């Protein structure tokens, strides 16, 4: 199959917020206990109770932001249960997921985890069974350098300096009957306003994320109309596939195109409502996303994730945060990036390698990219034209390095691509980093998977590159001296 890609380094789309490569941990299954946290007395190597092999794996993909404690768990969580001496913390029922919550991993431990992996903490407060006052006290505990009651408690707990938590979510999926204290749109919009005012009263510099609902304009409009002037993000969640069903390959790799349409529609709605509130902007936080599987991950899931990253690049002016659900050890086994066993073993899933590929090979600025290639129909997601080759180009702010990322969605055919770079002259060779497996149905684990690297000649302009079937590839070009910046 043949294709053509034109990249114009002089035509930027916008700046990509690093927070789109964020992650999410929740008190669900073995995500926290056994995944992130094993305790200081565990036989598994740990750092102050934080599991060392997980720390190292997470550091390697450099998450810019991590969301916690939920998820559905947030609507039954009272943060004061999880601070202070661990031997004195109460045992509580986990009202969202069943079983008991030991509260051994709480706010201080979460901040410690974020600092160890270099991530900004993002805390989601309890709206379902709590109050604006409790949320404001949590903000004070984390961020105040004053002498109030909750700031003093933080100091007494061994943390004299404020945590400076910037991102705060006002509840989780408050529209759903699965959620403790779920509400209708008017009830939640009013609650979001009350919580926002109370929390900003404790720290006016925080960034607030309100609950949106993917594809439900009525809910989103109401929240924006009532609370839009007091929030910074509207959160939406998007999972693909259903528990108990494995979608076919071509559906899975088409899911990102459906997400792009849904996020563009939400962007238009936000722009329409916020036009009546001059001086205030609201961005999108896709703070839960994944393909939902009841089984181990397949290689095709890496291509799904890569396609989602391309959507974030194209929508960089509106989607400025995203958090994969979930980072580690979550049932079903298919929705995580890392699996850490109770015996001390660790395995990295295909989506983990997709994160590694893109976080190491993406520039600061998204560029306009035109791709000409054949397409197919993905009926399950209602799409008539899904291009076999999906491309995204980015460039560093100084114009010295340009990256061209490509997902070849064709299951069987390689794509021979003519590549034209405008307003950018590359050096004679470029670096190629590629994710490829013998089959898109490859199970990982037990089968090994890795990113391969090589160099290719690009002396001729335009030049050609052949992308293998069912692959994700990033070509890294370095500018010749004097090549113009965008």
Q: Pick the catalytic residue: 26, 140, 258, 288?
A: 288
Tell me the two tokens of residue 434. 């590629």
Tell me the two tokens of residue 65. 């932001």
- What three-state secondary structure class fits 284? strand
Active site residue 272: no
Q: Which helix (H) or strand (E) holds 405?
A: strand 401-408
Under 8 Å between Cβ of 323 and 330: no
Q: Pick the catalytic residue: 26, 109, 140, 173?
A: 173
Under 8 Å between Cβ of 263 and 215: no
For Cα atoms 9, 10, 11, give the angle at the middle one, nearest 5 degrees: 95
DSSP-assigned beta bridge partners for residue 429: 457
Tell me the two tokens of residue 290. 């994944």
* Residue 140 CA from chain centroid, whole number: 27
Under 8 Å between Cβ of 22 and 63: yes
Report CA torsion sign: 268, 270, 274, 279: negative
* Residue 78 CA from chain centroid, whole number: 25
DSSP-assigned beta bridge partners for residue 382: none
Under 8 Å between Cβ of 169 and 67: yes
* Residue 33 CA from chain centroid, whole number: 21
Active site residue 87: no
Radius of gyration of the chain measured on its C-alpha atoms = 23
Cite the active site residues: 173, 288
């Amino acid at each position: 199959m043949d294709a053509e890609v034109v990249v114009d380094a002089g035509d930027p789309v916008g700046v990509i917020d690093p927070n789109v490569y964020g992650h999410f941990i929740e008190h669900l299954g073995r995500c926290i206990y056994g995944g992130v946290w094993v305790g200081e007395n565990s036989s598994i190597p740990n750092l102050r109770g934080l599991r060392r092999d997980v720390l190292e794996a997470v550091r390697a993909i450099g998450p810019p932001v991590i969301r916690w404690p939920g998820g559905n768990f947030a609507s039954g969580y009272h943060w004061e249960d999880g601070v202070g001496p661990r031997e004195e913390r109460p045992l509580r029922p986990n009202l969202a997921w069943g079983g008991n919550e030991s509260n051994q991993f709480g706010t201080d431990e979460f901040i410690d985890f974020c600092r160890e992996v270099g991530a900004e903490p993002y805390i989601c407060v309890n709206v379902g069974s709590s109050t604006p006052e409790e949320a404001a006290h949590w903000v004070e505990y984390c961020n105040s350098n004053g002498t109030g009651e909750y700031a003093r408690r933080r100091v007494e707990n061994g943390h004299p300096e404020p945590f400076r938590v910037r991102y705060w979510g006002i509840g989780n999926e408050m529209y759903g009957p699965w959620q403790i204290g779920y509400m209708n749109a008017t009830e939640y919009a009013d609650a979001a306003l009350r919580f926002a005012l109370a929390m900003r009263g404790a720290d006016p510099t925080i960034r607030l994320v309100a609950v949106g609902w993917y594809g439900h304009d009525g809910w989103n409009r109401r929240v924006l109309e009532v609370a839009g002037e007091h929030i910074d993000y509207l959160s939406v969640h998007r999972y693909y596939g259903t528990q108990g069903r494995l979608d076919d390959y071509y559906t899975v790799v088409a899911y990102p195109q459906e997400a792009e349409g849904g996020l563009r529609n939400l962007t238009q709605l936000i722009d329409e409502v916020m036009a009546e509130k001059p001086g205030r902007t609201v961005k999108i936080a896709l703070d839960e996303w994944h393909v939902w599987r009841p089984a181990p991950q397949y290689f095709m899931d890496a291509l799904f994730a890569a396609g989602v990253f391309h959507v974030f690049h194209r929508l960089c002016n509106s989607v400025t945060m995203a958090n994969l659900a979930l980072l580690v050890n979550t049932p079903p086994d298919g929705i995580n990036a890392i699996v850490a066993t109770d015996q001390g073993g660790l395995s990295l899933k295909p989506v983990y390698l997709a994160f590694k590929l893109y976080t190491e090979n993406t520039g600061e600025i998204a560029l306009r990219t035109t791709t000409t290639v054949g397409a197919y129909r993905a009926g399950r997601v209602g799409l008539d034209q899904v291009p076999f080759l999906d491309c995204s180009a980015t460039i560093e702010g100084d114009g010295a390095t340009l990256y061209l990322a490509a997902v070849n969605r064709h299951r069987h055919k390689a794509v021979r691509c003519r590549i034209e770079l405008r307003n950018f002259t590359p050096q004679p060779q470029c670096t190629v980093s590629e994710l490829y497996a013998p089959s898109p149905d490859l199970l990982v684990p037990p089968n090994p998977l890795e990113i391969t690297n090589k160099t290719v000649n690009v002396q001729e302009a335009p030049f050609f590159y052949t992308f293998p079937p069912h692959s994700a590839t990033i070509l890294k070009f370095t500018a010749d001296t004097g090549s113009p910046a965008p």
